[in-house]
Amino acid sequence: MKPIGIIIWTERISNLIKFYEMIFESKVHKLKSTSAYFIYNNLRIYISEHSEVKGDSKDPNRMIINLETKDIEKEYKKLIDQGVKFIRKPEIEKWGGKVATFEDPDKNRINLIEQKK
């Protein structure tokens, strides 16, 4: 088996689409009235409305999306300048890489990761 997709459920789809277009620097691949998705290689990242999802994430640490970057300091500054709320500044981890954490408009957590050089 291999992963083919991730779904981020929300009641505020337009806010999340706008946010993730900024983060991914890409427009959605397909947009419908209650869902949209991005494609990276063969992985689809869906943003969809769900009738049982209300407000902000109640447990933002339950699932965290990891995004890799070659230059975490550059990406961190760029995202700060775009108004992204970071809850953790870039820090070196025990394994030698760097990690910073920010939140989307629904308070879902996203890690920015720079692998050990």
* pLDDT tens-digit readout, 51-80: 999 999 999 889 999 999 999 999 999 999
Domain chopping of the chain, boundaries: 1-50, 64-117
Homologous superfamily in CATH for domain 64-117? 2,3-Dihydroxybiphenyl 1,2-Dioxygenase, domain 1 (3.10.180.10)
User: Hey, what CATH topology would domain 1-50 get?
Assistant: 3.30.720
Task: Give the containing element (helix H, strand E) for 31.
Answer: strand 30-31
Q: How far apart are the first and last CA of the chain?
A: 30
* pLDDT attached to residue 91: 98
Short-list 18, 12, 21, 19, CA closest to 50: 12
For residue range 94-109, what is the model confidence (pLDDT) as tens digits? 999 999 999 999 999 9
